[in-house]
Amino acid sequence: MATETTDPQPTVPTRVLAVLLFAQFCGTSLWFAANAVMPDLERAQGWPAQTAAALTSALQMGFIAGTLFFALLAIADRFAPRRVFLLCSLAGAACTLGSGWWAHDLWALKAWRVAAGFCLAGIYPVGMKIASQWYRNGLGHALGWLLAALVLGSAAPHALRGLTALGAEVEWTWVFPGVAALVVLGGVLQYVLLPDAPGAQESAKNARGFDGRALGTLWFDRRVRASVFGYFGHMWELYTMWVAVPLLLAARLDGALASFVAFAVLGSGALTCAWGGQWSRRWGSARVAAGFLLTSGLCAALAPWMVEAGEVLFYAWLMVWGLSVSSDSPQFSALTARNAPPHAVGSVLTLTNSIGFAISIVSIEWMSHLLQRWAVADLMPILALGPALGLWMLRPLLRESPQR
């Protein structure tokens, strides 16, 4: 039976979490930089509505390649995570500028988004690795805040696009350099202001490079398998829902208002990521993750009826979905980081991300293909299969004493 960790933990400086949160917010703004301006690009270039899904899949493929590279070479375990985060932030910013410069060429834009996804593999999972080094106790709480920053960062380009749409004097093309500046700022600040965690250098010396046995815990360790497969079910739903939200809103809104509402829906998950971190201290990470997974799965299943509902019910449903769909992720990461072999936490988290994002590509491409024949709302109930599988796989951890 798992019990709450009682190992002593050195006092963590207050600035550590604040710097990590800001750096994660800035770095993950890379994620939807292109998606946020797709309404403008589609009008300017005559591209079909499925283009946003294709660009998202391109970035996810880059992320998968990057996470496999980082996991198999144990980059986040063998080298200083702060330095990895910085270098990948600078490279990701360059890729975002390239996306803006070649935004008129779809194939070039896809190539730049693949490269940006590769760089994100050194930002998102590496940020979690840094957090796991500092917060051996209360990791669910820390990762809740960290994933809140990720959700806000991912949604931020929609807010930037909304601001540019408010006035003709500001063009949507400024979204790309704006995001690039944010990414650089986050990478530099975390490198300058964040010290190495206690024991980080010793941990790097003990890292073994490729460790197939440690990576195999995803399948062969009961606790790791439970949280990892719960995360996989979550990933079947998450990014397809993020791609679908602007499409669901397009039937009722357009222009700046549509962008701001999309930001509100998608960014609202930051609140529950943070709250979930607090709740995990009382109920444990597994139970908190299960609650969010159940809620988001129900929202997906209800989509065909909710899109036909009145204004109040429609927007309330979208907000509940936005609040729940991303908030189980930090708790899955906390459970995996806690149960994985200590010397390979970074590699296990990174490989888990890689597989999860491969699942998200399948889900996104499936939706993109079926959109040619089905309404987007009618496709959403199939997303509920992911949360259903995740809840089933999470059962071993739900039966144990709470892990926080």
pLDDT digits (tens, 9 = 90+) for 184-234: 999 999 999 888 777 665 555 555 555 667 777 778 888 889 999 999 999
* Assigned domain for 404 exists: no
| Mean pLDDT, residues 11-34 taken together | 82
Q: How many whole angstroms separate alpha carbon 142 and alpha carbon 354? A: 22
Residues 89 and 184 sit within 8 Å (Cβ to Cβ)? yes
pLDDT in tens, 25-49: 888 888 777 766 776 777 777 777 6
Residues 350 and 121 sit within 8 Å (Cβ to Cβ)? yes
Determine the pLDDT at residue 300.
96
* Cα dihedral 375, 379, 380, 381 sign: positive
- The confidence band for 314, taking pLDDT boundaries of 50, 70 and 90, is very high
What is the H or E stretch that residue 352 is in? helix 345-370
Looking at the 3D structure of the chain, how many domains does it have? Answer: 1
* Assigned domain for 115 exists: yes
Residue with more model confidence, 106 or 65 = 65
Residue with more model confidence, 76 or 83 = 83
Percent of the chain with pLDDT over 90: 26
Whether 6 has a pLDDT exceeding 50, the answer reads no
Whether 237 has a pLDDT exceeding 90, the answer reads yes
| Residues whose CB falls within 8 Å of the CB of residue 292, separated by 6 or more in sequence, listed in order | 272, 276, 324, 325, 327, 328, 331
pLDDT in tens, 372-392: 788 889 999 999 999 999 999
Residue with more model confidence, 352 or 78 = 352
* Assigned domain for 7 exists: no
* Assigned domain for 3 exists: no
Query: Which region holds residue 199: left if phi is over 0, alpha if psi is between -120 and 50, else beta?
Result: left
DSSP string, 380-400: GGGGGHHHHHHHHHTHHHHTS
Range of the domain at 228: 14-197+210-398
* Assigned domain for 142 exists: yes
* Assigned domain for 308 exists: yes
* Assigned domain for 202 exists: no
Percent of the chain with pLDDT over 70: 84
**Where do we find the tokens 């930089």?**
33
Residue of 337, 74, 338 lying closest to 205 (CA atoms): 74
* Assigned domain for 184 exists: yes
Query: The domain spanning residue 368 has which CATH number?
Result: 1.20.1250.20
Task: Give alpha helix (H) positions in 196-284.
Answer: 200-206, 212-215, 217-220, 222-250, 255-267, 269-283
- The confidence band for 5, taking pLDDT boundaries of 50, 70 and 90, is very low
Q: How many whole angstroms separate alpha carbon 158 and alpha carbon 131? A: 27
**Where do we find the tokens 């936490």?**
345
- The confidence band for 289, taking pLDDT boundaries of 50, 70 and 90, is very high
pLDDT in tens, 246-285: 888 888 877 677 778 888 888 888 888 888 877 887 888 8
Whether 3 has a pLDDT exceeding 50, the answer reads no
Residues 99 and 114 sit within 8 Å (Cβ to Cβ)? no
Candidate ranges 130-134, 322-326, 368-372; pick with highest mean pLDDT: 322-326
